[in-house]
Copies of this chain bind each other. A is one copy, B any other.
């Protein structure tokens, strides 16, 4: 019995608040810092479990769905350099060309067939059709895409090397905001009609 008391003494200074060092569950109500959110002062096991990693609705034009477990959905990963997302692709489903500014990605196949690819800075093309048992790694910040290559729905689990990886879709960046059409044309060499057509599709102005 005496050992308890001793250990408490031995550890008392070094471990008061020690759990705040082991992890830093995000207090999403406080302003972020360059290293992430400030830590919540009190946590339970439920902070460490994300319970919504489930198929999303693919009844949309892209026939695809992304269910993120990033820091805003899963505050316990704050500062730990990891996140996850579930990708569901209906038949014909697609994830448009995009990049993650701050994270590499592992795509772990769960079911179906997905053709995925990325382009490196020296403009080499890396593309392959993947199935259950395969993992593809996509290095940080490179443009990449995925589409369903099979006759049934397809699912993959994505994991990323940041708790807040961001995502920039090329179409969304070019056509889904107020960026001046003339600027888009000048810096992409797309035709005027093409830009206007996609601005309409993606709801952009300018």
Contact = CB atoms under 8 A, between A and B. Distances in A.
Interface of A: 1-7, 9-11, 13-24, 27, 30-41, 44-46, 48-54, 60-62, 64-66, 68-70, 72-74, 76-85, 94-97, 99-102, 104-106, 108-110, 115, 117, 119-128, 130, 133-143, 145, 147, 157, 159-161, 164-174, 176-180, 183, 186-191, 194, 197-198, 200-203
A119 B68 contact: no
A157 B159 CA distance: 10
Given A34-B36, A137-B80, A187 B18 contact: no
Given A119-B177, A171-B189, A99 B21 contact: no
Contact of A50 (B16, B76, B134, B138): B134
Most buried by B among A14, A124, A188: A14
Contacts of A24: 32-34
Contact of A70 (B4, B13, B126): B13
B69 A19 contact: no
Contacts of A120: 18-19, 22-23
A32 B22 contact: no
A82 B117 CA distance: 19
Contacts of A108: 53, 84, 157, 159
Q: Which residue, of A27, A31, A94, has the highest number of chain B Cβ atoms within 10 A? A: A31
A126 B49 CA distance: 10
Given A78-B34, A96-B188, A177-B124, A48 B18 contact: no
A24 to B, nearest CB: 5
Given A10-B64, A51-B133, A135-B69, A161 B3 contact: no
A105 B3 CA distance: 25
A11 B53 contact: no
24 contacts: A1-B200, A1-B201, A1-B203, A7-B169, A7-B172, A11-B167, A13-B72, A14-B68, A18-B166, A22-B120, A22-B166, A32-B38, A34-B35, A50-B137, A51-B134, A53-B133, A76-B137, A77-B137, A82-B104, A99-B141, A123-B173, A123-B176, A125-B177, A161-B161
